[in-house]
Amino acid sequence: MSLFDMTGQVALITGSSRGIGKAIAEEMAEQGAKVVISSRKQDACETVAAEINAKYGAGTAIAVAANISSKEALQHLVDETRRAFGKITALICNAASNPYYGPSEGIADEQFRKIMDNNILSNHWLIHMVAPEMLARCEGSITIVSSIGGLKGSTVIGAYCISKAADMQMARNLADEFGPKGVRVNCIAPGLIRTDFARALWENPDTLARSTARSPLRRIGEPEEIAGAAVFLASRAGAFTTGQTLVIDGGQTVSGG
């Protein structure tokens, strides 16, 4: 059996109707996992779930819409996952938001709170809804999709970067708490990836050129290039990895880009 095989696993992936989350769901299904597709809109979730079921077999994926700002919606997501598949073995907290682009002095209180609530508090809620069953089984993996923004300063997405740095610390704290029961918690910190979420940073060719000029690979990343790391962390390949932030950025952070 491959170290990356996920047969028998059930993966709940937030923000998985497009971009990085969708790529993670598709690759985990490829490796044999059952997957739960979740984002705000049910029709978008159903479209992705149908594509996965058509490729990997009926019953591989289900669609459950959830607004991450609602604790009740997240509990419903967890309950529906358990109802459909009986358990959750891998949680991937990928959904996030960033409603403000500009210097910190201009951000409104409600925008700052939305970033902190959606990017930190929602992960805290969801993890603690799922963790008890993992701890009871003495196995499971939790992955938070953070960002290299959490490792760098920024003059335009400062609050977002604060939230992503907090996610890294959350992973370290929970890895320490959950580790004795065999449950692993890690982060993935992507660089610039070709997603709708980051469209403002790559759609304009001049902006893209500036964003990648100091990256050793001199290019933007693709969603599937993050998916492999998520499979690694959720599979036997990552069984001795916890409390870590796996940076996948084409070398941008090491070059000073």
- The whole-model pTM stands at 0.95
pLDDT at 69: 97
CATH assignment of 10-252?
A: 3.40.50.720
Of all residues in the chain, the percent with pLDDT exceeding 70 is 96
Active site residue 160: yes
Among 56, 100, 101, 160, which one carries the catalytic annotation? 160
Average pLDDT over residues 2-9: 98
Tens of pLDDT, residue by residue over 18-29, are 999 999 999 999
DSSP lists the bridge partners of residue 91 as 12, 142
Do the Cβ atoms of 189 and 148 come closer than 8 Å?
A: yes
CB under 8 Å, gap of 24 or more: what pairs does 166-170 form?
A: 166/116, 166/119, 166/120, 167/93, 167/119, 167/120, 167/123, 168/144, 168/245, 170/120, 170/123, 170/124, 170/127, 170/144
Q: What is the DSSP letter of 193?
A: B
Q: Check residue 200 and give its pLDDT.
A: 65
